[in-house]
Amino acid sequence: MSIGLLGQKIGMTSVYDANGRLHPVTVIAAGDNALLRRLTNENDGYSAVQVGFDSQKESRVNKAELGVFKSANSEPKRFVREFRLTSDLAEGEVDLTVTQFQSGDFVDVIGRSKGKGFQGVMKKHNFDGQGAAHGSKTHRRNGAVGNRSTPGRIWKNMGMPGHLGDERVTVQNLQVMQVREAEKVILISGAVPGCNGSYVVVRPAIKNPAAQIKLHQQHAKQDKAVAKKHEAEKKSEEKKPEAEKKQEAEKKPEAAEKK
Protein backbone atom coordinates (compact mmCIF):
# COMPACT_ATOMS: atom_id res chain seq x y z
CA MET A 1 0.00 0.00 0.00
CA SER A 2 1.23 3.51 -0.85
CA ILE A 3 1.46 5.47 2.41
CA GLY A 4 4.30 7.91 1.68
CA LEU A 5 8.05 8.28 2.04
CA LEU A 6 10.61 10.45 3.79
CA GLY A 7 13.33 11.91 1.61
CA GLN A 8 16.01 14.53 1.12
CA LYS A 9 15.92 17.28 -1.48
CA ILE A 10 18.98 16.94 -3.72
CA GLY A 11 18.36 19.78 -6.15
CA MET A 12 16.64 20.63 -9.44
CA THR A 13 17.21 19.57 -13.03
CA SER A 14 15.07 19.03 -16.13
CA VAL A 15 13.84 15.96 -18.04
CA TYR A 16 11.95 15.31 -21.27
CA ASP A 17 8.59 13.52 -21.29
CA ALA A 18 7.32 11.07 -23.95
CA ASN A 19 6.05 13.98 -26.08
CA GLY A 20 9.40 15.78 -26.07
CA ARG A 21 8.38 18.51 -23.63
CA LEU A 22 11.01 19.73 -21.18
CA HIS A 23 9.93 19.73 -17.51
CA PRO A 24 11.78 21.25 -14.54
CA VAL A 25 11.94 18.61 -11.80
CA THR A 26 13.12 18.31 -8.21
CA VAL A 27 15.27 15.27 -7.38
CA ILE A 28 14.40 13.65 -4.04
CA ALA A 29 16.50 10.83 -2.56
CA ALA A 30 14.07 8.50 -0.78
CA GLY A 31 16.09 5.41 0.07
CA ASP A 32 16.94 4.21 3.60
CA ASN A 33 13.35 4.49 4.93
CA ALA A 34 13.01 2.27 8.01
CA LEU A 35 9.83 1.11 9.75
CA LEU A 36 10.27 1.97 13.45
CA ARG A 37 6.86 1.43 15.09
CA ARG A 38 3.34 0.24 14.34
CA LEU A 39 0.62 2.13 16.19
CA THR A 40 -2.71 0.31 16.41
CA ASN A 41 -6.24 1.35 17.32
CA GLU A 42 -6.26 -1.17 20.16
CA ASN A 43 -3.05 0.00 21.87
CA ASP A 44 -2.63 3.64 20.81
CA GLY A 45 -6.13 4.84 19.92
CA TYR A 46 -5.27 5.40 16.25
CA SER A 47 -3.61 3.52 13.42
CA ALA A 48 -0.28 4.70 12.01
CA VAL A 49 3.28 3.71 11.17
CA GLN A 50 6.38 5.54 12.36
CA VAL A 51 9.11 5.85 9.74
CA GLY A 52 12.72 7.01 10.08
CA PHE A 53 15.17 8.36 7.49
CA ASP A 54 18.92 9.15 7.32
CA SER A 55 21.12 7.34 9.85
CA GLN A 56 23.13 9.14 12.52
CA LYS A 57 25.42 8.35 15.49
CA GLU A 58 24.03 6.81 18.68
CA SER A 59 25.75 9.53 20.73
CA ARG A 60 23.42 12.15 19.22
CA VAL A 61 20.22 10.38 20.31
CA ASN A 62 18.63 10.40 23.77
CA LYS A 63 17.83 7.15 25.62
CA ALA A 64 14.09 7.21 24.92
CA GLU A 65 14.63 7.54 21.16
CA LEU A 66 17.43 4.98 21.21
CA GLY A 67 15.04 2.45 22.80
CA VAL A 68 12.60 2.87 19.89
CA PHE A 69 15.37 2.36 17.32
CA LYS A 70 16.75 -0.72 19.09
CA SER A 71 13.31 -2.33 19.41
CA ALA A 72 12.95 -1.92 15.63
CA ASN A 73 16.49 -3.31 15.01
CA SER A 74 17.30 -0.08 13.20
CA GLU A 75 20.11 2.46 13.25
CA PRO A 76 19.29 5.84 14.86
CA LYS A 77 17.56 8.15 12.38
CA ARG A 78 17.72 11.94 12.03
CA PHE A 79 14.27 12.44 10.51
CA VAL A 80 11.27 10.61 12.02
CA ARG A 81 7.62 11.07 11.05
CA GLU A 82 4.29 9.23 11.32
CA PHE A 83 1.92 8.28 8.51
CA ARG A 84 -1.72 7.90 9.57
CA LEU A 85 -3.69 4.90 8.29
CA THR A 86 -7.40 4.13 8.05
CA SER A 87 -6.93 0.74 9.74
CA ASP A 88 -4.16 -1.53 11.03
CA LEU A 89 -1.88 -3.07 8.39
CA ALA A 90 -0.35 -6.54 8.36
CA GLU A 91 3.41 -7.13 8.42
CA GLY A 92 3.95 -7.34 4.66
CA GLU A 93 1.59 -4.52 3.63
CA VAL A 94 3.92 -1.57 4.31
CA ASP A 95 6.01 -0.63 1.27
CA LEU A 96 8.80 1.86 2.07
CA THR A 97 10.57 1.81 -1.30
CA VAL A 98 10.40 4.34 -4.15
CA THR A 99 8.44 1.79 -6.22
CA GLN A 100 5.26 2.61 -4.27
CA PHE A 101 5.04 5.62 -6.62
CA GLN A 102 4.83 5.42 -10.40
CA SER A 103 5.38 7.89 -13.21
CA GLY A 104 2.21 9.98 -13.59
CA ASP A 105 1.13 9.74 -9.93
CA PHE A 106 0.22 12.94 -8.08
CA VAL A 107 1.82 13.64 -4.70
CA ASP A 108 1.89 16.25 -1.94
CA VAL A 109 5.33 17.34 -0.71
CA ILE A 110 5.75 18.73 2.81
CA GLY A 111 8.92 20.63 3.71
CA ARG A 112 10.30 23.62 5.58
CA SER A 113 10.61 26.81 3.55
CA LYS A 114 13.84 28.80 3.36
CA GLY A 115 14.20 31.40 6.13
CA LYS A 116 14.39 34.98 4.83
CA GLY A 117 14.81 36.77 8.15
CA PHE A 118 12.97 40.01 9.05
CA GLN A 119 11.39 41.50 5.91
CA GLY A 120 9.26 44.51 5.04
CA VAL A 121 5.74 44.52 3.63
CA MET A 122 6.83 44.77 -0.01
CA LYS A 123 8.75 41.50 0.10
CA LYS A 124 6.59 39.70 2.67
CA HIS A 125 3.07 40.69 1.50
CA ASN A 126 3.74 41.95 -2.04
CA PHE A 127 2.67 45.55 -1.27
CA ASP A 128 3.16 48.07 -4.10
CA GLY A 129 4.96 50.59 -1.92
CA GLN A 130 4.44 54.35 -1.88
CA GLY A 131 5.38 57.09 -4.29
CA ALA A 132 9.04 57.25 -5.22
CA ALA A 133 9.08 61.04 -5.91
CA HIS A 134 11.29 63.54 -4.10
CA GLY A 135 10.23 64.85 -0.71
CA SER A 136 9.23 61.48 0.78
CA LYS A 137 11.26 58.95 2.75
CA THR A 138 8.58 56.25 3.06
CA HIS A 139 8.97 54.56 -0.32
CA ARG A 140 8.88 50.98 1.03
CA ARG A 141 6.79 51.53 4.19
CA ASN A 142 3.31 50.09 4.69
CA GLY A 143 1.60 53.44 5.39
CA ALA A 144 -1.64 53.82 7.38
CA VAL A 145 -2.98 50.68 9.09
CA GLY A 146 -6.12 52.02 10.84
CA ASN A 147 -8.83 54.73 10.77
CA ARG A 148 -9.09 57.26 13.66
CA SER A 149 -11.44 56.35 16.51
CA THR A 150 -13.51 53.91 14.45
CA PRO A 151 -12.53 51.14 14.79
CA GLY A 152 -9.82 52.60 17.03
CA ARG A 153 -7.60 49.58 16.61
CA ILE A 154 -5.70 47.62 13.99
CA TRP A 155 -7.63 44.77 12.40
CA LYS A 156 -6.31 41.25 12.90
CA ASN A 157 -4.15 39.77 10.11
CA MET A 158 -3.11 43.21 8.89
CA GLY A 159 -0.02 42.88 6.68
CA MET A 160 2.93 44.10 8.73
CA PRO A 161 6.72 43.72 8.58
CA GLY A 162 8.04 40.59 10.26
CA HIS A 163 9.84 37.27 9.97
CA LEU A 164 9.47 35.52 6.61
CA GLY A 165 9.96 31.83 5.82
CA ASP A 166 11.28 28.94 7.94
CA GLU A 167 7.82 27.39 8.30
CA ARG A 168 6.08 24.16 7.32
CA VAL A 169 4.78 24.34 3.75
CA THR A 170 2.75 21.77 1.77
CA VAL A 171 2.80 21.90 -2.03
CA GLN A 172 -0.10 19.89 -3.41
CA ASN A 173 -0.74 17.92 -6.61
CA LEU A 174 2.78 17.68 -7.99
CA GLN A 175 3.25 15.03 -10.68
CA VAL A 176 5.85 12.27 -10.45
CA MET A 177 7.86 12.39 -13.68
CA GLN A 178 10.25 9.48 -13.07
CA VAL A 179 11.00 6.86 -10.42
CA ARG A 180 14.55 5.50 -10.57
CA GLU A 181 14.62 2.35 -8.47
CA ALA A 182 18.35 1.65 -8.88
CA GLU A 183 19.31 5.14 -7.67
CA LYS A 184 16.44 5.28 -5.11
CA VAL A 185 15.33 8.73 -6.25
CA ILE A 186 12.03 10.30 -7.31
CA LEU A 187 11.84 13.09 -9.89
CA ILE A 188 8.88 15.37 -9.14
CA SER A 189 7.64 18.08 -11.49
CA GLY A 190 8.17 21.64 -10.25
CA ALA A 191 9.72 23.06 -7.09
CA VAL A 192 9.32 21.81 -3.52
CA PRO A 193 9.85 23.73 -0.25
CA GLY A 194 13.25 24.00 1.40
CA CYS A 195 16.90 24.28 0.49
CA ASN A 196 19.06 21.55 -1.03
CA GLY A 197 19.77 18.90 1.60
CA SER A 198 16.59 19.59 3.59
CA TYR A 199 14.19 16.79 4.56
CA VAL A 200 10.76 16.40 2.96
CA VAL A 201 7.71 14.15 3.26
CA VAL A 202 6.26 12.76 0.02
CA ARG A 203 2.72 11.36 0.30
CA PRO A 204 -0.05 10.48 -2.19
CA ALA A 205 -2.08 13.58 -3.15
CA ILE A 206 -5.30 13.84 -1.15
CA LYS A 207 -7.05 16.62 -3.11
CA ASN A 208 -6.54 15.34 -6.66
CA PRO A 209 -9.61 13.51 -8.11
CA ALA A 210 -7.56 10.77 -9.81
CA ALA A 211 -5.40 10.33 -6.70
CA GLN A 212 -8.50 10.26 -4.48
CA ILE A 213 -10.04 7.46 -6.55
CA LYS A 214 -6.83 5.46 -6.26
CA LEU A 215 -6.67 6.14 -2.51
CA HIS A 216 -10.31 5.07 -2.01
CA GLN A 217 -9.61 1.85 -3.91
CA GLN A 218 -6.63 1.14 -1.65
CA HIS A 219 -8.71 1.83 1.46
CA ALA A 220 -11.56 -0.38 0.18
CA LYS A 221 -9.11 -3.20 -0.52
CA GLN A 222 -7.60 -2.78 2.93
CA ASP A 223 -11.02 -2.72 4.66
CA LYS A 224 -12.07 -5.81 2.71
CA ALA A 225 -8.95 -7.68 3.88
CA VAL A 226 -9.63 -6.67 7.51
CA ALA A 227 -13.30 -7.74 7.24
CA LYS A 228 -12.25 -11.07 5.74
CA LYS A 229 -9.83 -11.60 8.62
CA HIS A 230 -12.55 -10.84 11.22
CA GLU A 231 -14.97 -13.18 9.45
CA ALA A 232 -12.42 -16.01 9.52
CA GLU A 233 -11.84 -15.43 13.24
CA LYS A 234 -15.60 -15.44 13.87
CA LYS A 235 -16.05 -18.72 11.98
CA SER A 236 -13.23 -20.34 13.93
CA GLU A 237 -14.92 -19.30 17.19
CA GLU A 238 -18.27 -20.71 16.00
CA LYS A 239 -16.67 -24.02 15.08
CA LYS A 240 -15.17 -24.51 18.54
CA PRO A 241 -18.50 -25.22 20.36
CA GLU A 242 -19.54 -27.68 17.61
CA ALA A 243 -16.33 -29.64 18.07
CA GLU A 244 -16.88 -29.71 21.82
CA LYS A 245 -20.46 -30.99 21.29
CA LYS A 246 -19.18 -33.79 19.09
CA GLN A 247 -16.68 -34.79 21.76
CA GLU A 248 -19.47 -34.88 24.39
CA ALA A 249 -21.72 -36.93 22.09
CA GLU A 250 -18.91 -39.43 21.55
CA LYS A 251 -18.29 -39.69 25.29
CA LYS A 252 -21.99 -40.53 26.17
CA PRO A 253 -22.14 -43.96 24.36
CA GLU A 254 -18.83 -44.91 25.94
CA ALA A 255 -20.24 -44.15 29.43
CA ALA A 256 -23.43 -46.19 28.70
CA GLU A 257 -21.39 -49.22 27.60
CA LYS A 258 -19.37 -49.13 30.80
CA LYS A 259 -22.57 -49.25 32.91
Give the neighbor-by-neighbor strand order of the sheet with 48-55: 33-39, 48-55, 77-84
**What's the pLDDT tens digit per position in 68-98?**
999 999 999 999 999 988 776 665 677 889 9
Number of domains in the chain: 2
- Residue range(s) defining the domain that contains residue 151: 116-164
> Within a domain: residue 99?
no
**What's the pLDDT tens digit per position in 92-124?**
677 889 999 999 899 999 999 999 999 999 999
Return the pLDDT at 258: 56
> Within a domain: residue 130?
yes
> Within a domain: residue 44?
no
> Within a domain: residue 136?
yes
Residue that is last in its domain, among 101, 135, 164: 164
Nearest CA to 160 among 172, 148, 146, 173?
146
Q: Is 186 exposed, middle or buried (0-12, 13-18, 19+ CB in 10 A)?
A: buried
> Within a domain: residue 175?
no
Return the pLDDT at 237: 72
> Within a domain: residue 84?
no
Cα distance between residue 199 and residue 212, in whole Å: 25
> Within a domain: residue 160?
yes
Nearest CA to 16 among 144, 210, 177?
177
Q: Is the dihedral of CA 188, 196, 21, 173 positive or negative?
A: positive
Residue that is last in its domain, among 134, 164, 194: 164
Return the pLDDT at 215: 65
Residues of the chain with pLDDT under 50: none
> Within a domain: residue 159?
yes
Residue that is last in its domain, among 164, 195, 222: 164
Return the pLDDT at 255: 58
